[in-house]
Structure 1
Amino acid sequence: MKAPNLPQLIEQAQRALREEARKRQEFYAWLKEDVKAEFINGQVVMHSPVKERHWTAVGNIYRLLSSFVIKNKLGRVASEKALVTLKRNDYEPDVCFWKQEKAAQFTADQMKFPAPDLIVEVLSKGTARIDRGIKFTDYAANGIAEYWIVNPSKQLVEQYTLDAATNEYALINTYTGQDILTAQQVNGFAVSTLSLFDETANMQTLATLLST
């Protein structure tokens, strides 16, 4: 606010944002169902193939979360290909969850979705900087209430929830092994951390979730 050239800086920012908005519309026109890409701060970010431990963790998390949510009619869960459209950027999170009041508005042909209530990102070498950087800040700024950062190489989960006073994420806990991870936004969902990484534990946990 003390900069004497503040009006010029604002004008430059507005021009940059208008150009970014134009590129964003081009991104929407270009994007196809068989392409995994995100639009981040004016740039199209393509995603490379991931290691086995990454897609195993994504599959395990999605299997447990989606089965529980469907069984209890809590909302919708998507994995990797749902385009989450925020105020400035567009992301395809590894796993995300919308409560029923949001999910009830979705249509069969919809390709762009509002901010979820929970987002899960599984770290890889190529995405860790973004997951802990711009996404961490942007998810909080757009009111996404809960964020999990999953490290498949260390079999560890960091659980963050949004602090309403600061509009920033606060670390609730870090979970490993037999620690019980309890979702804040998915009512009643509590699983061992191991079940997110180990397929045998995953199947056992799934059977328990579906039987109760």
Structure 2
Amino acid sequence: MAMPTTTRPSLDSGDRLTREEFHRRYCARPDIKKAELVEGVVYVASPVRVTHGRPHALVLAWLGFYQAKTPGVDFADNITVWPDAKNEVQPDACLWREEPGGPRVSQDGYLEGTPQLVVEVAASSASYDLHDKKEAYRRSGVREYVVWRVLDGAIDWFRLQGGEYVRLDPDARGVIESAVFPGLRLDIGKMLAGDLAAVLAELEPRPPG
């Protein structure tokens, strides 16, 4: 006698779900490696290409090096984050510290609340990372949002000011420094060139004067 088969719940890009229903379906679909709920809409990721993986690895090295030298700071790659009731996202990387009213790790091991800094690796300015997801991060209070637009050869760093994201310009040396995490500096040109040694050198303490 044939055993009845269990029907897997559907989870497709464009579905509109509550966060609870999205999470239930996602947990029941181990075949799906990455899916997100952004402003109530499902986005299922495509297989990851080298053009995404290499920049992603550079970002992880940059943030990981900073976290290793900075007590009280947590860092993670591709974790489930619940910033609010309409969103369940998996940032390419995020940096946070626990503070009153800030993010915390839930009993289930997910990050509840909003990390102070999020980094996403996107294909171009057309990506949802710079539209619906950017709006979700803004509304939920992500203080700094960095997007590497791979096909455009550009990195955008946004800072939340007065409830809106303001795009930051590098200084005369081509460097942007975080206002949330002191000493977290990024040489935009060196990062785009893949010069990891120079990127990490920028995180070393600066001599006085």
Asked if Structure 1 and Structure 2 have the same fold, meaning a TM-score greater than 0.5 normalized by the shorter chain, the answer is yes
User: Counterpart of 2:182 in structure 1: which amino acid?
Assistant: N
Q: Distance in 2 between matches of 1:153 and 1:25?
A: 31
Quote the residue 2:145 is aligned against. 147
User: Counterpart of 2:61 in structure 1: which amino acid?
Assistant: R
* Residue pair 1:71, 1:210 contacting (<8 A) in 2 also: no
Quote the residue 1:121 is aligned against. 120
Q: Distance in 1 between matches of 2:22 and 2:137?
A: 18
Matches within 5 A, 1:11-160: 20-21=18-19, 23-27=21-25, 29-30=27-28, 32=30, 35-79=33-77, 81-87=78-84, 88-101=86-99, 105-106=104-105, 110-124=109-123, 128-160=126-158
Please report how far the alpha carbon of residue 61 of structure 1 lies from its aligned counterpart in structure 2 after TM superposition: 1.3
Q: Secondary structure at the match of 1:161?
A: strand
Which ranges of structure 1 fall in alignment gaps of 5 or more residues? 1-16
Please report how far the alpha carbon of residue 33 of structure 1 lies from its aligned counterpart in structure 2 after TM superposition: 9.8
Q: Distance in 1 between matches of 2:115 and 2:70?
A: 18
Q: Deviations over 1:128-176 (max 9, x none)?
A: 4311211111111111111112112333211111122xx2212222x59
Quote the residue 2:13 is aligned against. none
Q: Distance in 2 between matches of 1:155 and 1:106?
A: 34
Distance of aligned partners of 1:89 and 1:77 in 2 relative to their CA distance in 1, 3 Å threshold: same
Please report how far the alpha carbon of residue 77 of structure 1 lies from its aligned counterpart in structure 2 after TM superposition: 1.5
TM superposition score normalised by structure 2:
0.74
Q: Distance in 1 between matches of 2:202 and 2:161?
A: 32
Of 172, 185, 200, the residue aligned with 1:206 is 200
User: Counterpart of 1:169 in structure 2: which amino acid?
Assistant: Y
TM superposition score normalised by structure 1:
0.73
Q: Secondary structure at the match of 1:135?
A: helix
Count of aligned residue pairs for this structure pair:
189
* Residue pair 1:82, 1:113 contacting (<8 A) in 2 also: no
Q: Secondary structure at the match of 1:35?
A: coil
State, as a whole percentage, how many aligned pairs show the same letter.
21
| Structure ranking higher on relative contact order (CA contacts 8 Å, 6+ apart) | 1
User: Counterpart of 2:42 in structure 1: which amino acid?
Assistant: V
Q: Distance in 2 between matches of 1:29 and 1:49?
A: 19
Which ranges of structure 2 fall in alignment gaps of 5 or more residues? 1-15
Q: Greater helix percent: which structure?
A: 1
Distance of aligned partners of 1:24 and 1:153 in 2 relative to their CA distance in 1, 3 Å threshold: closer
Q: Does 1:170 align with 2:169?
A: no
